[in-house]
Structure 1
Amino acid sequence: MFVGITNTPRDYAWGSHLAIASLLGTPPSGKPEAELWLGAHPGSPAVITDPSAVGGARHLAEWIAAEPERALGEARAAEGRLPFLLKLLAAAGPLSLQAHPSTDRARAGFDLENEAGLALDAPDRNYKDPFHKPELILALSDRFEALCGFRPADSVQRIVDELRALDATMDEPEPEPLDDLERHLAGTDGLRDTVDWLLRDGRGEDTGEVAWLVERVVALAGQAAFLAGGSAEIEFPAELATVESLAAAYPGDPGIVISLLLNRVSLRRGEVLYLPAGNIHAYLSGLGVELMAASDNVLRGGLTPKHIDVDELLEVLDFTPTPVPYLSPASSSTPGVTVYQPDVPDFRLVHIEADAAADGSAGSGVPMRQVALAGPAIAICTAGGFLVAGATSSVALKRGGAVYITPDEGTVTFAGAGEVFLATTPA
C-alpha cells in the first residue's frame, strides 16, 4: 500500500528560508524552514494526504496506532512504532553541540526521570523516551559543514600551538588563558576534564577563567583572519573561522572553545556522516537528508541557551579520539541504487538516481530501479518523477512528493528519471 504523506517544516531559528522549498519546488513560507519531518514521531508526525484511504487517520502516528499490522507489517506490529525518522535538514546557522545516548542509557535515564516525576516537556528533562538516537546525514548542498567527534590529541596540541603563535603577534599578548586550557588538557583524562571545566565553569554568573579563555580564543581567531588576509600561512583556517562564526551566533559560549577539540568536516554533495551513540557533533550549515532512530533524546553540550546537564553529558560522551566518521555505501549490484547501512537495526537509507538520457531500461527509454523492502518505508522525491509500483499497487511520485510504503509491497520498482531518497529497515 502506498500512502501519500506531507508535513510542514519546523521553523527553528537556525533554519534556512529557502533551501527546502528550492529543493522540493514548493513555495517558501517566509519563515525559517529548518527540518521537514517524515515519520511517525509524536513531535511532528507526517500528515496523511488522503485520510479516507486509511480509515480516517489524519497522520501517520494515528494510523499506526489504529492498524499496526497493516501499517508496519506482521513482523513489526507488536512493536507498535516506526523505528526511524526521515528528515530534510537545512541549516543557515549552527545547531547546538549535542550527543545521543545508547539504548541502555536512554532506558535507564527515562525510567529515572519518570520516577522523579519530571514532566515529559520539562525544560530540564534529558530523556523524552527510552530509545537511542543514532543518525546519519547525507549532504545535498555542494558543501555541508559540521563538527563531529573528538580529534586526536596531537591535532588538539597543534591548534593550541597555533593559538600561542597568534597570541605572540598581538599588541598585548595574554598567554595565561591558554595556559589554563593546556593544564586541563594535560590531565590523565584530558578531554573529559577540559569539557567538564568549560561547561561547568563557563555557564552562569561567575564564569571566570573560562570566560577569559573564550574571549581570548575569539580574539585570536580574528587575528588569524587578519594575518591570512596578508598572506600569512594559517594551519587551521577552517577551525578558526568556525570560532568566529560561532561567536557571532553564541557570544561567550564555552562551546566555542569545545569546537576546537572536535573534527571539523566539510562534506561534498553525496557524502555521508554516521553519528553513533556518544558522538558529540553540531551541524553548522548546509542542506542534507537526515535519517535517525525515532527518538527525541538529546544531551546538549554548548552553543545553546537550553538546559545542559553536565554530569549526564559526561556519562554519555565517547571521548575516544576518532577520524571523521564517514559512512561508505554498502556494496550494490544495482546501478543507480546506493545503500547506506550503519550498524543498527533501526534504519537504512537508499539513494535512487536515474537519467533517461543515459540509461534507458529494456529498450523502453524509461530507467527502472528496484529496491527490496524488508519492512515499512518512506520515500521522498527531490528531482524528476517516477511511477512507483509494488506487489499490490502503484503511485506516481513527483518532485516534492512523499509516500509511506507498507512492507507487503515487497520489491518496489521506480520507473522514471530523477532522484528519490528512501528510508526503510535493514533486511
Structure 2
Amino acid sequence: MFLGITNTARDYAWGSVTAIPELLGRTVTGAPQAELWLGAHPGSPSVVVNPAMVGGADTVLDWIAAEPQTALGEGRTGLPFLLKVLAAAAPLSLQAHPTPEQAREGFAREDAAGIAIDDPARNYKDPFPKPELVVALSDRFEALSGFRPVEATLADVRTLDAESGRLGPLVAHLQQGLEDTVRWLETADPSALAIVEAVGHLAAAAVADGTDEVSANVVTAADLAERYPGDPGVVVSLLMHRVTLERGEAMYLPAGNIHAYLDGLGIELMAPSDNVMRGGLTPKHVDVAELLRVLDFTAYPAPLLAPEALAPGVDRFAPDGVGFALVRVTGDGRPVGLATGGVAPLSGPSIAICTEGVVTLVGAQSATLLRQGESCFITPDEGDVTVEADSTTGLTSSVFIATGTDDGRDGAPGER
C-alpha cells in the first residue's frame, strides 16, 4: 500500500518563513515553518490524507496502533526512523545526543528522580539514542559540526588577538586540549565569561574590517555573539568545523557529536528519539553537566557522508549500525534514464517525499503518483519500489525514501 500522508510544519522561531511552503506548494503565512515531521512520533504524527484507506485512522500513529502487522510487517514494533524537512533561517541550539548506553542510563536516572516526561528540564524523554543525517536541498546548507584540531582554532584565536593580547587565557586552555577548554567555557567561570565577551568584540571588529584573513569560523562567532551575547557557545563555535554543504551533499551526526545547524533547507533522517543535550545558543533548557557527560571531545574530520551509488540516479545514505537509511532517486524527466525505472531497495515500512518534479512509485502490489511536496507511507508488502520519472514534463525529479536496515533496532517514539 502507498498511503498518502501530510503534516503541519512546526513553528520554531529559528525556522524559515518561505522555504518549506515553497517546497510543498503551500501558502506563505508569514510565520516561521521550521520542521515538517513525517513518521509516527507522537509529538507530531503524520496525518493520513485518505483515512478511509486505513479504517478511518487519522494519523500514522493511530493506524500503526490499530493495524501494526499491515503497517509495519511481521515482528516489528515501530518505525526505526523519523523523516523531516528542516528549514533553518537562524542558528539552532548547540547540542549533542547520547549513545544507546547513555540514553538508557539517563532515562532510568531521571525516572528514578521523579522528573516528569513533559518537564522542560528533563533531558531524556526516552531510553534511545538519536543519530541523524542531513542532506542539503538548498544551494548551501550551513552548520557547525564536530570538533576540529586545536591547531586550527589556535590559528584563528591568534589572528583575532594579534594586537590586543586579551585572549591569552583561551590560548592557555586550548594548549591543554579540547575537553579542558570546553569545560572551562561551559561552566561559566568568570575568566571564561570575560573571554566570551572579548571574542565577540574582536570577531565583530575583524568582520567589520573586511580583511581576507577572516575565516568562516570567525564570521560565525561574530554572528552568534550578536544573536547570543555572552553565551559560551560563541567561543565553542571556534572549536568546531564550520561546514557548508552544497545541494545534494550530506553529513552524519553520531552520538557525542557537538553540532548546530545555522541556515538552509534539508532533508533530515534520524532515530525517532527526543534526547537532546543543549549547551547554549538557545532560550530552551540547557544542562551543561549532562552535555559534558555525552560529548565526544575527539577532533575528527568534518563528518561528511558520501552516498553509495546503487545505480545511475539512485544513491543510498546509510551510516553503519543506526537502523535506517535514506535512498535518493533522481531523474531528468526525459524518456531515458529514470523514465525506464530507478529501483529503490527498501527494508520494512518506508516513507517517501517528492522534492522535485512528478514521479510514479511502483511496488509489488500497487502504484502511486507523487508531485513535488507530496509524501506517502509505503507498507512492507510493496517490496523494493521502482521510481519512474514523468517523461512528458521534461522536469528534473527527485524523491527521498526513508527506510530501515538490518543493522539497527525497531523504532521508539525529536524537537531541538
Q: Tell me the TM-score normalised to structure 2 length.
A: 0.93
SS at match of 1:109: helix
Shift of the alpha carbon at 1:419?
1.0
Q: What's the offset of the Cα at 1:214? A: 1.5
CA contact (8 A) 1:139 1:271 kept: yes
State the AA in 1 paired with 2:185. L
Matched, 1:209 2:191: yes
| Kept after mapping to 2: 8 A contact 1:24/1:383 | no
| 1:125 match: secondary structure | coil
Partners of 2:335 and 2:88 in 1: how far apart? Answer: 33
CA contact (8 A) 1:138 1:273 kept: yes
- 2:38 is aligned to 38
Amino acid across the alignment from 2:179 = R
State the SS of the aligned residue for 1:156: helix
The CA deviation at 1:358 is: 6.6
Q: Structure 1: how far apart are the matches of 2:108 and 2:319?
A: 27
Q: Find the aligned partners of 2:337 and 2:181 in 1 and give their Cα distance.
A: 57
2:140 aligned partner: 143
Runs of 4+ in 1 over 4 A off after TM superposition: none
1:220 is matched with 202
Q: Which amino acid aligns with 1:303?
A: L
Q: Deviations over 1:269-294 (max 9, x none)?
A: 11100000000000000111000011
Instruction: Name the counterpart of 2:7.
Output: 7
- Is contact 1:354–1:368 with CA below 8 Å preserved after alignment? no
Whole-Å Cα distance in 2 between the matches of residues 14 and 71 of structure 1?
34
Do residues 179 (structure 1) and 168 (structure 2) align? Answer: yes
CA contact (8 A) 1:148 1:279 kept: yes
Q: 1:261 aligns with which of 231, 239, 243?
A: 239
2:381 equivalent in structure 1: 408
Distance of 2:139 and 2:289 partners within structure 1: 38
Query: How many pairs align?
Result: 400
The answer to whether the Cα contact below 8 Å between 2:131 and 2:322 also exists between their aligned partners in 1 is no
Report the counterpart of residue 216 of structure 2 in structure 1. Answer: 238
Give the equivalent residue in structure 1 for 2:334: 357
Q: Distance in 2 between matches of 1:387 and 1:51?
A: 21
Once the two structures are superposed, what CA deviation does each residue of 1:149-183 show, in whole Å capped at 9, x if it has no partner? 00102112212211221xx1xxxx3x24x122122
Query: Structure 1 residues 152 and 212 mapped into 2: Cα distance closer, same or farther (>3 Å)?
Result: same
The residue number in structure 2 matching 1:110 is 107
Q: Which amino acid aligns with 1:340?
A: F
Which position in structure 2 is the counterpart of 1:72? 72
Give the deviation of 1:356 after TM superposition: 2.4
Deviation at 1:196, TM superposition (A): 1.5
2:152 match: secondary structure: helix
Q: Which amino acid aligns with 2:109?
A: L
Find the residue that maps to 1:186 and give its secondary structure. helix
Q: Indicate the residue corresponding to 1:19 in structure 2.
A: 19
The residue aligned with 1:205 is: none
Partner residue, 2:249: 271
Change (3 A) 1:360 1:213: closer
Deviation at 1:62, TM superposition (A): 1.4
- Write out per-residue CA displacement over residues 43-86 of structure 1, whole angstroms, 9 at most, x where no aligned residue: 1111111112112211111111221111111142xxx2111000
Of residues 360, 364, 387, the one that matches 1:387 is 360
Alpha-carbon distance between aligned partners in 1 of 2:335 and 2:216, rounded to the nearest angstrom = 38
CA–CA distance in structure 2, aligned partners of residues 254 and 360 of structure 1: 51
Matched, 1:310 2:297: no
CA distance in 2, matches of 1:246, 1:344: 34
Q: Which runs of 5+ in 2 are unaligned?
A: 391-396, 407-416
Superposed CA RMSD:
1.5
How much has 1:184 moved relative to structure 2? 2.1
Q: Look up the equivalent residue of 1:129 and give its one-letter code.
A: D
Contact residue 200 and residue 229 of structure 2 kept, 8 A:
no
Is the contact made by 1:354 and 1:367 (CA closer than 8 Å) also made in structure 2?
Answer: no
What is the CA distance between 1:307 and its match in structure 2? 2.1
Question: Are the equivalent residues in 2 in contact too, given 1:147–1:284 (CA < 8 A)?
Answer: yes
Which residue number in structure 2 is paired with residue 94 of structure 1? 91
Do the aligned partners of 1:12 and 1:34 also contact (CA within 8 Å) in 2?
A: yes
Amino acid at match of 1:65: A
Shift of 1:301: 1.4
Q: SS of the residue aligned with 1:201?
A: coil
Q: In structure 2, what is the Cα distance between the partners aligned to 1:393 and 1:372? A: 16
**Counterpart amino acid of 1:223?**
A
**1: distance between equivalents of 2:52 and 2:108?**
38
Structure 2 Cα separation of the partners of residues 140 and 280 of structure 1: 22
Q: If you compute each CA radius of gyration, which structure gives the higher value, 1 or 2?
A: 1
State percent identity of aligned pairs.
Answer: 56
Paired residue for 1:396, among 333, 344, 369? 369
- CA distance in 2 between partners of 1:367 and 1:29 (Å): 39
- Which whole-Å CA distance do the structure 2 matches of 1:387 and 1:226 have between them? 51
Question: What is the CA distance between 1:376 and its match in structure 2?
Answer: 0.8
2:357 counterpart SS class: strand
What residue is the counterpart of 1:191 in the other structure?
Answer: 178
Counterpart position of 1:339:
316
Contact 2:347 2:405 survives alignment (8 Å): yes
* Equivalent position amino acid for 1:352 in 2: V
User: Gaps (5+ residues) in structure 1?
Assistant: 203-207
Instruction: Verify: 1:288 aligned to 2:266, yes or no.
Output: yes
Partner of residue 377 from structure 1, selected from 338, 342, 350: 350
